[in-house]
Structure 1
Amino acid sequence: MVQVMFFSLIRERLDTDKLSLSLPMPGMTLLAFTEHLIDTHDAHWREVLTSANIIKSVNQRVVDNDCCLSDGDEIAFFPPVTGG
């Protein structure tokens, strides 16, 4: 299982803050996993998750889309500016 978290405006636009999902394929890239999320939800998810300015992290480290995922990872999607 991986934990997927959405923060700030992304959370609001997707109307969810957290998902627990089985990793479809061990070692898949973050890009492939993002496509999996989009494919299993509606077109609105594609619009939100493919925005160029989204920051993605794995295990609390900002990563590129080519990062390989493992079971137990924590994946987060957040906008470039958060806080308040």
Structure 2
Amino acid sequence: MKVLYFAWLRERIGTGSEEVETNASTVAELVAELTSREDRYAAAFADMSAVRVAVDQTMTDIDASLTGAGEVAFFPPMTGG
């Protein structure tokens, strides 16, 4: 599965994208797998209220299913300006 990271998430994790082999069935399970890998993931996902997620380019929530998904993107909330 392709996982994309944007803005400060990309900075904390150290990459903008990666291919991840996962058994996760939901976004929450994917986040749990990633955070258990290394401290940089744990730091990036420490406050999930500050993280938005899209599955296959459709905005969704942390409990969304990953069944059949090819891409997950994580990014901070958008702000106007």
What TM-score range do you get, normalising by the shorter chain?
0.7 to 0.9
Alignment of 1:19-58 (within 5 A): 19-25=18-24, 28-42=25-39, 44-51=40-47, 52-58=49-55
Is the Cα–Cα contact under 8 Å of residues 23 and 70 in structure 1 kept in the other structure? no
RMSD, aligned CA:
2.1
The list of structure 1 runs, each at least 4 consecutive aligned residues, that deviate by more than 6 angstroms after superposition, is none
C-alpha displacement of 1:64: 1.1
Give yes or no for contact 1:3–1:72 (8 Å, CA) kept in 2.
no
Of 69, 74, 77, the residue aligned with 1:77 is 74
Higher relative contact order (CA 8 A, sep 6+): 1
Aligned-partner SS, 1:31: helix
Output the TM-score relative to the length of structure 2.
Answer: 0.83
Query: Which blocks of at least 5 consecutive residues in structure 2 are unaligned?
Result: none
* Superposition TM-score, scaled by structure 1 size: 0.80
Identity value in percent: 28
| Aligned-partner SS, 2:74 | strand
